[in-house]
Amino acid sequence: MTLQFIENALRATGRLHAFLSGGGLRVVRIERKGKLVGYGEHPNIEIALSHANRDAKKQTRPYSKVYGKKHPHYLTGSTSPSSELDKVILEGSTLDLWHNGSEFVVEIRGSRQAKVPEAITHRVIETGKAERWNERGFVFETSRDCFPSGEPCAKTRVLECPLGKSKSVWFYDFIKMGKAPTLWAAIDTAIAAKEESVESKAA
């Protein structure tokens, strides 16, 4: 899918911001110098981008003349992702896109809940031997335990924390970045990039 007018807006110092609405719609906003120059919404991100691309060509049409007239007035988004990019937005992450020099730059920001790797949980329950593992500077120990019914399970405790007290143990924010000469290549690079945790104060 070609997004020529979005690319033109970004090259002209515009910035794209995509996010999930309260009703699950994928929303795309393109702003330049604080002014909205393109907008799109749809149950899936690809069509929302297409709407925003068309809107950027027209330099932003009134919402009431687009949704409910040219396009349906969508109320909720799809609960099934249509692509890897759509999955990113559906999970609640945001996507920011701009142009710098000869490259498009993509920034994905979101939140995660740390989880014990399934393989470790399985081994601990099967063998009864506790295992230590590391994530984001924390050292955890997972050991075998039992529910009141007697069914085996696993429990995890924190043995070591990173320097400082500002990192939350189980919840953390992350960022993924991508750069490329073309818009879609930059998006693909960001999606495939390794998550970098962003330090934030624990609640």
pLDDT in 10s for each residue of the chain, 203 residues: 889 999 999 999 999 999 999 999 999 999 999 999 999 999 999 999 999 999 999 877 888 889 999 899 999 999 999 999 999 999 999 999 999 999 999 999 999 888 899 999 999 999 999 999 998 888 999 999 999 999 999 999 999 888 765 567 888 899 999 999 999 999 999 999 999 888 654 43
Tell whether the torsion through CA atoms of 78, 83, 88 and 94 is positive or negative. negative
Q: 86 near 27, Cβ under 8 Å?
A: no
Q: What is the pTM of this model?
A: 0.80
| Domain extents in the chain | 4-112+170-198, 115-160
Residues 3, 144: Cα–Cα separation, whole Å:
53
